[in-house]
Amino acid sequence: MLTRRILALAAAFVVLAAPAMAVAAPPIGECPPGSDNCHIIDEDPGDPGDGGNDGGNDGGGDGGGGERVCTRGGEPIACYDPIYGWFNQDDECYYKLAEPQLPPPDGASPDGGWYVPSCAGGIGEPDWFDAPPAGAEPPPDPETLARRALATITLSPPDLQIRPDPSGAGLVGLPVWLWVEKGPETWGPSSASAEERGLSVEITASVSNLTFDLGDGGPPINCPGGGTPYPKGATGPSPDCGYAFTKSSRQQPGQKFTITATTTWTVEWTSSSGATGTIGPETREATVGVRINELQVVTE
């Protein structure tokens, strides 16, 4: 095979012609736009392929092919290809779930799916299968992929800020401002993706709630917006996330109240199969100690 037409470029026009025109392949090929030279790259270094779907050099076959041996025309071939999917020995075609899925045809079992066949002759129009084609293995679980993607990003504790400055002291009854500085790692949104065997999952993690526990025994306060940074010189209370202690911190360990900020992260995922879901909630905490004095020790 000295002059070998490039893999699917050549293969594609054969099938491309069929659905549109319902006639045999035209005398001159059609190729996908962006690759309008149907047969280029004549030399084919180190590719012992069969001129068709030679997927073996892309790490295929490691997706759980196990003991299974796949052959096309008697030649060994990968049982799984990252682009074509699983090999069906019966018809020597690969099948992968079409992305995205169209609704099932009338009367079809909703458990089935549209599969794209990749055969020696090229990549065909999707076919409906009530059950996965022979050789197919269950698709990866999108939630597992979502968790894998989540493991690649950092959900950091909140970047807790308060006024009065923790190095100083506050006073009973005077405004305490509470807020967090927002960055992708401490507040989101933070995105990541993971892909396996043609299924990809994208996650977006963002903080959906923020609470402050003031450490004085009272109920925590909710600040879903993250609070408002203290503008220098402000004398009033925070517009959305403030507090005023009603007692001093003298009785507390270290004579300080321990303020705990807790961010609640919501992780939403969407998969290329159309499935969506959420993981979590996950929470992260940061603490700071603040000294609150009685009013009578005011020194000004």
For β-strands 113-119 and 176-181, DSSP reports them as: unpaired
Stretch that binds another protein, among 63-71, 110-118, 150-158, 285-293 (CB under 8 A): 110-118
139 binding another protein? (CB under 8 A): no
Residue 27 binds another protein (CB under 8 A):
yes
Q: Shortest Cβ distance from residue 115 to another protein (Å)?
A: 9
Choose, by CB under 8 A, the member of 14, 123, 201, 223 that binds another protein: 123
Could you give the CA distance from residue 173 to residue 222 in angstroms, rounded to a whole number?
Answer: 20
Residue in 195, 196, 216, 240 binding another protein, rule: CB under 8 A: 195
- The answer to whether residue 35 forms part of the interface with another protein (CB under 8 A) is yes
Select from 80, 87, 114, 230 the one that contacts another protein (CB under 8 A).
114
Q: Cβ(114)–Cβ(98) under 8 Å?
A: yes
Rounded Cα distance between 150 and 29, Å, is 45
Closest CB to another protein among residues 82, 175 = 82
Rounded least distance, CB 278 to another protein, Å: 18
Q: Is 124 in the site for another protein (CB under 8 A)?
A: yes
Q: Is residue 132 a contact residue for another protein (CB under 8 A)?
A: no
Judged by phi (left if over 0) then psi (alpha if -120 to 50, else beta), residue 152 lies in: alpha
Q: Does 108 contact another protein by CB under 8 A?
A: no
Using alpha carbons, select from 182, 290, 176, 161 the residue that is nearest to residue 238. 176
**Nearest distance in Å: CB 205, another protein:** 18
Is there a contact between 37 and 55 (Cβ–Cβ < 8 Å)?
no
Q: What are the backbone dihedrals phi and psi of residue 153, each rounded to the nearest 5 degrees, phi first?
A: -115, 160
282 lines the binding site for another protein (CB under 8 A): no
Long-range CB contacts for residues 94-99, cutoff 8 Å, separation at least 24:
94/53, 94/55, 94/118, 94/119, 95/129, 95/132, 95/133, 95/135, 95/136, 96/198, 97/139, 97/198, 97/273, 98/126, 99/198, 99/272, 99/273
Which residues form the interface with another protein (CB under 8 A)? Answer: 6-9, 12-13, 15-17, 19-20, 26-42, 44-45, 47, 57-58, 82-84, 96, 98-103, 114, 116, 118, 123-126, 193, 195, 200, 272, 274
